[in-house]
Chains A and B, each alone.
Chain A
Amino acid sequence: MTIRCEKVRELLGGFHDNELQGREFRTVSEHLKVCAGCAGELKRLETMSRLLKAHYEELAGKEDLSQVWSRVSAAIETPGVSDGREPLLERIMKIFALPKPAWAIAGAVAVVVVLMLASLPGDHMSTLAANDCIIDKVDSENCSFMLYEAGATKMKIIWVIDQGSGETEQQTGVTS
């Protein structure tokens, strides 16, 4: 028996149950055309399946089915499963038993969301000072003005100097 035969035999069960798809299905079906051993194994599998099916059908014929529903009802009414739902712990365990690719996809989505948040336009509030202010324009026809930024909170100050009054920076008390 070759390594290929070993692999094919691992998949024979699935092939027999029509559960294989794509490449796996092609690999097995092509191998069966050229390998008498594996084809024979499939035949044995089919024979066994047929015999088992016949056996169970025979057993089912003998079984008193009128008792089945009363047993099912009794099981449903058992405390803890009376609402037809699985216990919480089992449901949580099932979530964590998901295949790894699912977690990889969820992780990728989370990274995309974080990157999108980081790339939102403009500065984020957390990086702005309490009084952060951007002055785009200051116009005054008759007065001069000075711009200041004071303190840790970056408070912006527009200080107007009236030309008519002849005051100077010294007189206003501005220390800049």
Chain B
Amino acid sequence: MIIVPLRKSLVTLATVFAILAIVFFANVASAKDEGYGGSARITVYVIEASNGVPGVDPEIREIVEQFEGAFRYSTYKLVSKIPKKVGLGEEEKFSLPGDRELVVLCRGYKHNRIKLNVRIVEKRKDSRELLNTDFGIVDGGTMIIGGYPHRDGKLMLAISADM
């Protein structure tokens, strides 16, 4: 005889729980995507790739192993490593060899990817923009921009982003 009120209270409890779950997950989804208000840690590894004495700097070995085979360079030397925190909607400048500058704008976080705008600007010749790209990279991921002449080889920029 006590079953009837017990069932009623359980149905009410389950309904309340379902509504709360819907509200919670809707908020989590929107917070992760559109409402991301944090910042991204961007690390730029400036690498010189050439065909000198074969070898890879230990600090960039993990990165080089991931693209090795796509290039025929024998030497990968770390020129500099620049970590910076980039706030949402903010720009940070990374100085590059050869009077060039890498400008990173954090555009937010969407679909599990950190959205960035990256520009490479040549400071000489009235700030000529060499490249302008938009991409979304997974948290902790790395992408490469390269090909610019540097000494006897080419400049490669490994851009890592994490939250």
Contact = CB atoms under 8 A, between A and B. Distances in A.
Given A128-B112, A148-B70, A160-B146, A21 B138 contact: no
Contacts of A31: none
Given A129-B138, A175-B70, A116 B7 contact: no
B147 A160 contact: yes
User: For chain A, what secondary structure do more than half of its interface residues adopt (helix, strand, loop), or is it mixed?
Assistant: mixed
Contacts of A48: none
A44 B19 CA distance: 50
A124 interface: yes
Contacts of B4: 21
B1 A116 contact: no
| Chain B contact patch, size range | 35 or more
A99 B21 contact: no
Contacts of B137: 131-133
A173 B138 contact: no
Given A122-B110, A131-B138, 15 more contacts: A99-B3, A99-B6, A101-B10, A108-B14, A113-B21, A117-B25, A120-B28, A128-B138, A136-B134, A137-B133, A139-B131, A155-B66, A155-B142, A160-B145, A161-B147
Interface of A: 14, 17, 19, 21, 98-99, 101-102, 105-106, 108-109, 112-113, 116-117, 120-125, 128-143, 145, 148, 150-151, 153, 155-162, 165, 172-176
